[in-house]
Amino acid sequence: MPSTSKPGAVIFVKDLQRVAKFYEKLLSLSVIQVEGDHVVLESEAFQLVLHAIPAHIVESISISAPPEVREETPIKLFFPVASIDQARASAPMLGGQVGSVEREWEFSGIRACDGYDPEGNVFQLRQMCPDPFGKGAGQ
């Protein structure tokens, strides 16, 4: 049994089931626990806890369709994916969006692109670039 817990994050959400399905499917996370006020999702190395906003507060929150993107926050979560292109194709069916190819950038052998979940929470997806240091065939 591990001596420490996995690194992770908590996101407070209005529609717990919808946002849980979004992250479960988009990031291929496993549902570990479902309680009335939270859902725990995880991969081998990361845990994401989605926690329902209390009912007395949720009444004052309106989520538009598409949601207003919440870019003015001091924290942005990033998640590894096998394919940003595949995530881009899946996100709209799950209620969110991943930016277009033109919005991607590369650094340190990683391809990155921002997106948002069904409630407008901004995240970043990261994919390892093939041959990130130019050591391909013939080198």
The 10 Å CB-count burial string (b at 16+, else e) for 10-42 is: ebbbbbbebbbbbbbebbebeeeeeeeebbbbb
- Average pLDDT for the chain: 91
Q: How far is CA 112 from the centre of its chain?
A: 12
Q: Which is nearest to 123 in space by CA: 131, 94, 4?
A: 94
SS3 content of the chain, % helix, strand, coil (to 5): 20, 35, 45
Residue 19 has pLDDT above 80, yes or no: yes
Assign a CATH topology to domain 8-55+68-128.
Answer: 2,3-Dihydroxybiphenyl 1,2-Dioxygenase; domain 1 (3.10.180)
> 38-91 pLDDT, tens per residue?
999 999 999 999 999 999 999 999 999 999 999 998 999 999 999 999 999 999
Residue 139 has pLDDT above 50, yes or no: no
Tokens of 45: 């190395």
The 10 Å CB-count burial string (b at 16+, else e) for 97-118 is: bbbeeeebeeeeeebbbbbbbb
